Amino acid sequence: MSFSFLFLGNLPLAEGFGINTNIFETNIINLAAVVAIVISFVGKNLSALLEDRRKTILNNLQEASQRAAEAQERLNIAKNQLELAKKKATEIREDGVLRATQEMNNCVVQHEERLSKLEEFKQETVQFYQQKAFKQAYIYIISRIMSRVKERLNKGLDATYHVVVNNFYVSRFTEYNP
């Protein structure tokens, strides 16, 4: 209000009350009075509202900062988990390759063992049939020899055969060393 009186002090004094026809001066006086009333009554409420708004904005910023920090922390945790998952996947892949290689090697070793056993079985089978064939041939030869010996014995020994048999037994007897 003191502002409006100072302003009014510069104005020329009129002769009593009357209507001021200067609209510009009247508007300035009215505006100054309204501004002074608004500032005196509304100023405290406006400054309280502005202070509340400032506190709300600060709280929102703090909450946003806190949420951003939490989000960053969750992001870091997720990145760490992703790295761990990648490492685990790499380990599993390497383990799988290693196991596959070991399984292939085991299969090759088992196959080679089976082949060697089959080869042994083949050799044993061949040997068995060779022995069987030799035995059959031996039996056949022995039976033929025995049948010829029987024929000779049944026919009797002539002088030539008698000398050959005696020489054979004599040579055997001379080789004998007790």
Cβ 32 vs Cβ 2: under 8 Å: no
The residue to which tokens 């080869």 are assigned: 119
The DSSP element (H or E) to which 140 belongs, if any, is helix 23-155
The pTM (predicted TM-score) of the whole model is 0.41
According to DSSP, residue 14 is labeled: P
Residues near 171 by Cβ (< 8 Å), separated by ≥ 6? none
Distance in angstroms (rounded) separating the CA atoms of residues 46 and 51: 8
Q: What one-character-per-residue DSSP string does 27-91 give?
A: HHHHHHHHHHHHHHHHHHHHHHHHHHHHHHHHHHHHHHHHHHHHHHHHHHHHHHHHHHHHHHHHH
pLDDT at 85: 95
Domain extent at residue 96 = 2-175
For residue range 18-52, what is the model confidence (pLDDT) as tens digits? 666 677 888 888 888 888 887 777 777 778 888 89
Two tokens, residue 138: 């031996």
For residue range 55-91, what is the model confidence (pLDDT) as tens digits? 999 999 999 999 999 999 999 999 999 999 999 999 9
Per 3-state DSSP, the chain is made up of helix, strand and coil in percentages (nearest 5) of 90, 0, 10
For residue range 115-156, what is the model confidence (pLDDT) as tens digits? 999 999 999 999 999 999 988 988 898 888 888 878 877 776
- Tell me how many domains the chain contains: 1
